[in-house]
């Protein structure tokens, strides 16, 4: 998986960042996968907000792993860009 930022803890804040993802689609590994910018892999009560991503290819701006809980993802991607495997979270798409 191509990844920019990994969160593996609780009560983290990732806010107000600009991520530029400039990788050719042919360079993504494993081939054919959608790159992830922010992966919340574990923990609870993480706050991900007002992040902006610029990319020439399709990316997942935020992925909430199923093991996370209570995370808030606000204004950091649209409903197609933010992948939510967790069952307990708050989400507001970027307007």
The per-residue pLDDT string of the chain (95 residues; one tens digit each, 9 = 90 and over) reads 677 899 999 999 999 999 999 999 899 988 889 999 999 999 999 999 999 999 999 999 999 999 999 999 999 999 999 999 999 999 999 98
- pLDDT of amino acid 88: 97
pTM above 0.75, yes or no: yes
Identify the CA nearest to 4 among candidates 67, 52, 73, 70: 52
Domain boundaries, the chain: 3-92
- pLDDT of amino acid 6: 96
Distances (CA, A) of 79 to 24, 25, 31, 35, 83: 24, 22, 24, 16, 8
- pLDDT of amino acid 70: 98
Beta bridge partners of 69: 44
Lookup: tokens for 41: 């892999």
Query: How are beta strands 47-49 and 60-64 bridged, if at all?
Result: unpaired
């Amino acid at each position: 998986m191509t990844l920019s930022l990994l969160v593996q803890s609780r009560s983290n804040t990732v806010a107000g960042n600009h991520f530029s993802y400039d990788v050719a689609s042919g360079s993504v590994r494993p081939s054919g996968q959608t790159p992830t910018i922010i992966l919340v892999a574990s923990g609870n009560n993480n706050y991900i907000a007002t992040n902006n991503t610029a990319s020439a290819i399709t990316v997942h701006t935020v992925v909430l792993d199923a093991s996370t809980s209570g995370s808030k993802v606000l204004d950091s991607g649209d409903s197609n860009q933010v992948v939510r495997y967790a069952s307990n979270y708050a989400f507001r798409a970027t307007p």
